[in-house]
């Protein structure tokens, strides 16, 4: 049993490697003037060796029969040579082959032009495959139409990948839509509660934080499957409402990815910094600017591998170090960053606040 199986495999293997003599036989059966001298050798070698399924059809015979098919064609379609030669190529079509594309092929033949279409074709055993068909006329030296050349390539894998990609896109679009809607509903609930209990300003503050968090995750859904988040996209998304004309914030970092849970701390911290800048800092006048940089730092003797974020305000009003009240934006940031095992340092320079947030993060991919 085992022996037999191996023999069969070997046999098939050998058949596969055996020289494809169909081009030679085709040449032998045809007039010499069609493929003369070096041309015939080239034809023979190329047709035999290519993995591309190739056939030739005779436009002068009744019903356009196939007159030549190389072995790759037979392997692709599962037919034997004598089941192919003499028949019109439409035997590859089946119930779900798109007639529109078949019509394109017909038109190209009538116009003697080249056409490339993808057709759903059927093998001898009834299984289907996507065939990238390239079809075109072949002329002799005198410009006389000799054959139609058809090359077929199984692109089923490409089709499957495309369909999967399409599905993933649709899914992430739907997820993104639902998430935004959910954040909108959460926002409404907080608002309504704030109104009912007459704590509107608190409700608004809560809402702004929740919405900042929502924005931080928003750009990540498209690539949720990657398992990490492009930090720059998340930061831009969080800060976008503070710079609607895109002229006051400069983003210096690039290409750094981080774990999703990292993003909530960073997103909320940036929100607090921006809110503070609106009240007291660079966004409180018309000319102030902020530059945001982020980079990965390898572990050093006293620090772990971490991501460092720099927030530098310039051109705002001169600020003095505030007395930090518990519950203020700064103290919330302090606590959040500390929870993540990181550090936050402030530098109240005369031309603006500079903040550095460093949070441990292993395996940051650039």
Partner 1 sequence: MTDGAATMDNGSLTVLILEDEPMILWDLEQEFSDAGLHPITARSAEQALDLIGHTVPDVAVLDVNLGDGKTCEPVADRLSQLGVPFLIHSGDLDRAGEVVRRFDVPVMPKPTPAYLLAEAARALR
Question: Closest distance between partner 1 and the C-beta of residue 223, in Å?
Answer: 17
Q: Give, as ranges, the residues between 165 and 194 that touch partner 1 (CB under 8 A).
A: 173, 176-178, 180-181, 183-189, 191-192
Question: Closest distance between partner 1 and the C-beta of residue 181, in Å?
Answer: 5
237 binds partner 1 (CB under 8 A): no
**Beta strands 115-122 and 128-139: pairing type?**
antiparallel
Residue with smaller CB distance to partner 1, 123 or 204 = 204
Q: What is the DSSP string of 196-254?
A: HTT-HHHHHHHHHHHHHHHHHHGGGGGGGGGSSEEHHHHHHHHHGGG-TTS-SEEE---
Question: Closest distance between partner 1 and the C-beta of residue 186, in Å?
Answer: 8
Choose the stretch contacting partner 1; rule: CB under 8 A; options: 20-28, 95-103, 207-215, 331-339.
Answer: 207-215
Question: Closest distance between partner 1 and the C-beta of residue 250, in Å?
Answer: 24
Residue with smaller CB distance to partner 1, 170 or 335 = 170
- In angstroms, the Cα distances linking 239 to 91, 211, 282, 289, 337 are 60, 11, 14, 13, 18
CA separation for the pair 338, 356 (Å, rounded): 13
Residue with smaller CB distance to partner 1, 160 or 240 = 240
Choose the stretch contacting partner 1; rule: CB under 8 A; options: 122-130, 200-208, 221-229, 332-340.
Answer: 200-208
Residue with smaller CB distance to partner 1, 138 or 171 = 171
Residues 6+ apart with CB under 8 A from 355: 273, 310, 311, 312, 344, 345, 346, 347
Question: Closest distance between partner 1 and the C-beta of residue 195, in Å?
Answer: 6
Question: Closest distance between partner 1 and the C-beta of residue 202, in Å?
Answer: 14
**246 conformational bin, left if phi > 0, alpha if psi -120 to 50, beta if neither:** left
Question: Closest distance between partner 1 and the C-beta of residue 323, in Å?
Answer: 29
Choose the stretch contacting partner 1; rule: CB under 8 A; options: 104-112, 138-146, 208-216, 299-307.
Answer: 208-216
Question: Closest distance between partner 1 and the C-beta of residue 328, in Å?
Answer: 21
Question: Closest distance between partner 1 and the C-beta of residue 184, in Å?
Answer: 4
CA separation for the pair 259, 248 (Å, rounded): 28
Q: Using only C-alpha atoms, what is the Rg of the chain?
A: 34
Residue with smaller CB distance to partner 1, 26 or 217 = 217
195 binds partner 1 (CB under 8 A): yes
Q: Give, as ranges, the residues between 248 and 307 that touch partner 1 (CB under 8 A).
A: none
281 contacts 316 by C-beta, under 8 angstroms: yes
CA separation for the pair 97, 323 (Å, rounded): 75
CA separation for the pair 219, 226 (Å, rounded): 13
Residues 6+ apart with CB under 8 A from 318: 350, 351
214 binds partner 1 (CB under 8 A): yes
Residues 6+ apart with CB under 8 A from 99: none
135 contacts 150 by C-beta, under 8 angstroms: yes
Residue with smaller CB distance to partner 1, 267 or 352 = 267
Residue with smaller CB distance to partner 1, 51 or 200 = 200
114 contacts 135 by C-beta, under 8 angstroms: yes
The DSSP symbol for 142 reads T
Residue with smaller CB distance to partner 1, 150 or 267 = 267
> What are the residues binding partner 1 (CB under 8 A)?
173, 176-178, 180-181, 183-189, 191-192, 195, 204, 207-208, 211, 214
């Amino acid at each position: 049993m085992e022996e037999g199986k191996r023999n069969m495999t070997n046999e098939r293997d050998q058949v596969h490697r055996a020289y494809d003599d169909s081009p030679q036989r085709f040449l032998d059966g045809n007039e010499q003037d069609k493929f003369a001298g070096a041309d015939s050798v080239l034809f023979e070698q190329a047709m035999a060796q290519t993995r591309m399924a190739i056939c030739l059809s005779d436009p002068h015979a009744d019903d356009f029969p196939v007159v030549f098919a190389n072995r790759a064609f037979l392997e692709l379609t599962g037919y034997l040579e004598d089941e192919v030669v003499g028949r019109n190529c439409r035997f590859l079509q089946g119930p779900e082959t798109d007639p529109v594309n078949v019509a394109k092929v017909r038109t190209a033949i009538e116009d003697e032009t080249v056409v490339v279409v993808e057709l759903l074709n059927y093998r001898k055993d009834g299984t289907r495959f996507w065939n990238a068909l390239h079809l075109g006329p072949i002329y002799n030296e005198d410009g006389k139409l000799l054959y139609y050349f058809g090359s077929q390539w199984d692109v089923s894998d490409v089709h499957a990948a495309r369909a999967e990609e399409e599905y993933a896109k649709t899914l992430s679009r739907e997820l993104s839509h639902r998430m935004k809607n959910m954040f909108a509903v959460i926002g409404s609930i907080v608002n309504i509660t704030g109104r009912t209990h007459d704590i509107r300003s608190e409700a608004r503050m809560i809402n702004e934080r929740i919405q900042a968090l929502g924005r931080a995750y928003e750009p990540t859904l498209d690539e949720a499957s990657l398992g990490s988040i492009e930090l720059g996209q998340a930061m831009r998304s969080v800060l976008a409402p503070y710079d609607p004309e895109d002229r006051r914030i400069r983003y210096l970092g690039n290409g750094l990815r981080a774990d999703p849970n990292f993003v909530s701390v960073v997103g909320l911290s940036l929100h607090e910094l921006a809110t503070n800048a609106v009240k007291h800092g660079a966004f409180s006048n018309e000319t102030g600017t902020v530059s945001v940089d982020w980079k990965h730092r390898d572990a050093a003797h006293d620090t772990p591998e971490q991501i460092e974020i720099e927030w530098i305000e310039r051109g705002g009003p001169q600020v003095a170090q505030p007395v930090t009240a518990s519950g203020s934006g700064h103290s919330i940031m302090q606590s959040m960053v500390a929870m993540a095992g990181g550090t936050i340092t402030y530098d109240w320079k005369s031309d603006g606040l500079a903040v550095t947030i460093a949070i441990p993060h292993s395996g940051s991919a650039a």
